[in-house]
């Protein structure tokens, strides 16, 4: 019998498997739906190259989810994609590795039901354990020996330099280290990236592959988890599909680390969710819970401009401008040949989305409704942020191709909706909170309310919008969960 069965070998799952098996008597089985390779050099070149975004239409290592129209008929442009490969989305993303801020963790602690468990001071050690900061590793708020190398560009491309100069001309201060201390509120600075010598370093290559030989660790790829098995309200195993055959794998404890979409969908297919919706799909109810009833993401507007000169290959984001709850991103990659894109993302939106099943069939993707910009606050903040970004482009002497945002609130709202996209940062489908909170799915230790032997350890548990991109925080969540388990000598789950 396996001690801990981890569903999902993505950003969080690889961390958990590596850390939990540091205890020789703790057996771990990790299941990943996508492919794996047993050495970093075995990964396809597209996954290793930090200057590429390997998310094209023919990429075989992705989950793809259609975006559903909300009641008001508004939808973001494009589909949601996630990494379906050992390392998860961290194996295919832009290598952005910025921490959330102290203000985020103050809000997180207030929602979690524990004033200390998720405070900034309590999570900082986990952030530090994860990183080998190649620029600031000797500073007290950083780590110098962790599995993930972190570096900032020392030789930015001209586009990034022009952006930084334009931000300075508008009065924004320079921030040498976006991960310093409690996190900067406003300013421009180089992006910490999980790269080394131009190679993307995911948690698969940083954490998991170096420990594959441990006798207490088993990793199975190309294995799809269909549903969780329960004995009453105790989770005891999972049904999986592998090589066109179905089997059941039993375990003492089960951890879902399949990402905010798949972890939530798996709970729902297994009978944890809204009873009325589950019964409509002929799914037996194990425990009522608000799974998928709330999630958050970062709505993003892209301002397009003409690229004057070709840029050399580099990470997709070398610099960003932080203005409290807005992040402005000068992408160095051309999503359209000859056209640059300045991303404008609202990082603490008040609008929330909903995820629900459309079918009990695991092959059918869930319904995902972002409901972006339904709050007037979000429309106002994003409209103002686009105006700031336009000023930056003006100082860069960039030729703006996108039509200018209309002045009237009504016309501006329609313009925002027409140009809306997503930052691909969906989180919070299994939000954290006390049992008395009717919005909560897991407790402050990531255990699913109302059942035993089952936890969620990934971005699904985050109960508030994060002011920064989520990769570093997802690693931190798994580091903290694993440390709690080992230090307290009792199961987290």
Residue 188 pLDDT:
97
Highest mean pLDDT among 125-129, 177-181, 336-340: 125-129
Find the radius of gyration of the CA atoms of the chain. Answer: 22
Q: What is the mean predicted confidence (pLDDT) over 100-108?
A: 95
| C-beta of residue 299 within 8 angstroms of C-beta of residue 373 | yes
- Which phi and psi (to 5°) does residue 74 adopt? -100, 135
Decide if pLDDT at 248 tops 60: yes
Residue 69 pLDDT:
54
Residue 70 pLDDT:
54
Distance of alpha carbon 206 from alpha carbon 147, whole angstroms: 5
Distance of alpha carbon 164 from alpha carbon 185, whole angstroms: 16
Residue 493 pLDDT:
43
Whether 231 is catalytic is no
Angle subtended at Cα 160 by Cα 158 and Cα 162, rounded to the nearest 5 degrees: 65
- Per-residue model confidence as pLDDT tens digits over 135-155: 999 998 999 999 999 999 999
- Per-residue model confidence as pLDDT tens digits over 59-91: 999 999 988 655 554 555 568 999 999 999 999
| Residue 145: other Cβ atoms inside 10 A | 10
Q: What is the mean predicted confidence (pLDDT) over 155-175?
A: 96
Which tokens in the block code for residue 39?
């050495």
Decide if pLDDT at 231 tops 90: yes
Residue 156 pLDDT:
96
Residue 489 pLDDT:
47
Decide if pLDDT at 356 tops 50: yes
Q: What is the mean predicted confidence (pLDDT) over 264-288?
A: 98
Question: DSSP states of 220-280 as a string?
Answer: E-S-EEEEEEEETTEEEEEEEEETTEEEEEEEEEEEE-SHHHHHHHHHHHTTEE-HHHHHH
- Per-residue model confidence as pLDDT tens digits over 17-52: 999 999 999 999 999 999 999 998 899 999 999 999
**Dihedral, 172, 175, 179, 185 alpha carbons, nearest 10:** -20
> Of all residues in the chain, what percent carry a pLDDT higher than 70?
94
- Per-residue model confidence as pLDDT tens digits over 293-320: 999 999 999 999 987 766 789 999 999 9
- Average pLDDT of the chain? 92
Q: What is the mean predicted confidence (pLDDT) over 465-488?
A: 89
Among the ranges given (44-48, 118-122, 184-188, 367-371), the one the predictor scored with the smallest mean pLDDT: 184-188
- Collapsing DSSP states into helix, strand and coil, what is residue 264? helix
**Residues 287, 298, 425, 449: which is the catalytic one?**
425
- Cα 476 to chain centroid distance, Å, stands at 12
Which tokens in the block code for residue 367?
């319904």
């Amino acid at each position: 019998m396996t001690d801990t069965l981890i569903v999902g070998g993505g950003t969080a799952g690889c961390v958990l498997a590596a850390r939990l098996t540091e205890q020789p008597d703790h057996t771990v089985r990790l299941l990943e739906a996508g492919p794996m390779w047993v050495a970093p050099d075995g990964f396809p070149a597209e996954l290793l190259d930090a200057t590429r975004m390997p998310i094209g239409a023919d990429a075989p290592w992705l989950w793809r989810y259609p975006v559903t129209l909300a009641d008001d008929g508004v939808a973001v442009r494009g589909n949601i994609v996630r990494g379906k490969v050992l390392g998860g989305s961290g194996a295919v993303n832009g290598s952005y590795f910025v921490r959330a801020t102290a203000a985020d963790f103050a809000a997180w602690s207030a929602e979690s039901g524990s004033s200390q468990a998720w405070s900034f001071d309590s999570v900082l050690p986990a952030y530090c354990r994860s990183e080998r900061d190649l620029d600031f590793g000797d500073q007290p708020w950083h780590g110098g020996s962790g599995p993930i190398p972190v570096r900032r560009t020392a030789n930015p491309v001209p586009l990034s330099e022009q952006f930084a100069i334009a931000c300075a001309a508008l009065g924004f201060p320079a921030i040498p280290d976006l991960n310093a201390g409690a996190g900067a509120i406003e300013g421009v600075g180089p992006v910490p990236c999980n790269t080394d010598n131009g190679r993307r370093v995911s948690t698969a290559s940083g954490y998991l592959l170096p420990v594959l030989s441990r006798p207490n660790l088993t990793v199975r790829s190309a294995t799809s988890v269909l549903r969780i098995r329960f004995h009453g309200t105790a989770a005891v195993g999972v049904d999986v599909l592998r090589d066109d055959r179905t089997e059941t794998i039993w375990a003492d404890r089960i951890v879902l680390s399949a990402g905010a979409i798949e972890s939530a969908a798996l709970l729902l297919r297994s009978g944890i969710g809204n009873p009325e919706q589950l019964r409509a799909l002929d799914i037996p109810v194990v425990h009522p819970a608000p799974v998928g009833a709330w999630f958050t993401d970062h709505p993003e507007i892209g301002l397009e401009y003409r690229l004057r000169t070709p840029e050399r290959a580099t990470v997709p984001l070398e610099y960003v401008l932080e203005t409290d709850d807005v992040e402005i991103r000068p992408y160095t990659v051309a999503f359209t040949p000859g056209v640059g894109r300045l991303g404008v993302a609202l990082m603490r939106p008040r609008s929330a989305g909903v995820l629900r099943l459309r079918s009990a069939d695991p092959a059918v993707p869930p319904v995902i409704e972002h409901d972006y910009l339904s709050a007037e606050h979000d429309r106002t903040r994003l409209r103002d942020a686009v105006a700031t970004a336009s000023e930056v482009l003006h100082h860069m002497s960039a030729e703006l191709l996108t039509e200018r945002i209309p002045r009237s609130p009504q016309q501006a709202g329609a313009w925002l909706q027409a140009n809306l996209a997503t930052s691909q940062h969906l989180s919070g489908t299994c939000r954290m909170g006390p049992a008395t909170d009717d919005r909560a799915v897991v407790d402050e230790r990531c255990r699913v309310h109302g059942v035993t032997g089952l936890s969620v350890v990934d971005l699904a548990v985050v109960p508030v919008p994060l002011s920064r991109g989520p990769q570093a925080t997802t690693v931190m969540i798994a580091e903290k969960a694993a440390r709690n388990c080992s230090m307290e000598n009792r199961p987290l789950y």
